[in-house]
Amino acid sequence: MDSSRTIDDQLREFEQNDSVNWQALIFNLRKHFDSWSHIYIGALWKDIKLSHLPVIFNVSVDGSSVSEIAKKLNHPKQSVSRSIKELEVLGFVSSATCTQDKRVEVLTLTDLGKSFILDAKGVTARTNDIYKKLVGENELKIATEVIMKIIAFYESNNDRILEVPSEIV
């Protein structure tokens, strides 16, 4: 701690630099994304909750198990199962026992689920076009690559940063 400045002064400096704080940036972006999703996707599909989106987007065309989806999302199976049950009731996915392993339930998209994903894909494409016009295609590509590298870093460390790898320092 810098003893020449008070804690309040240090906090004021932190508050003024909030725009370069990754956690604040990601939180703010997520807030806007959730709002955008609610407005644009919700307008087309009123029964869909934001918590359903990551689940339905990770059901493979050829079918997926709850465990596969939970692993991809890094979410507990229980929360994924809850969303899946809700999506089943809404008619977006269906489930059947796996023919190779009777202990596994395989989820598939219904026609309604497939239509939803295609509609959401269209909304996402239009949003990407807006971003390209806003910052340019190259900057958007760079931003995407940077975010993907950060995500890969967390995932390769199982969301724990014990120490910064020497190749990064």
Full set of structural domains in the chain with CATH = 21-135 (1.10.10.10)
Q: What is the pLDDT of residue 44?
A: 67
C-alpha 110/C-alpha 67 separation (Å) is 20
Q: Mean pLDDT across the chain, nearest whole number?
A: 85
Let me know: does 110 contact 94? Beta carbons within 8 Å: yes
The dihedral sign for the CA sequence 70, 75, 80, 81 = positive
Q: What is the tens place of the pLDDT at every residue in 7-33? A: 888 888 877 776 677 888 888 888 888
pTM for this one?
Answer: 0.72
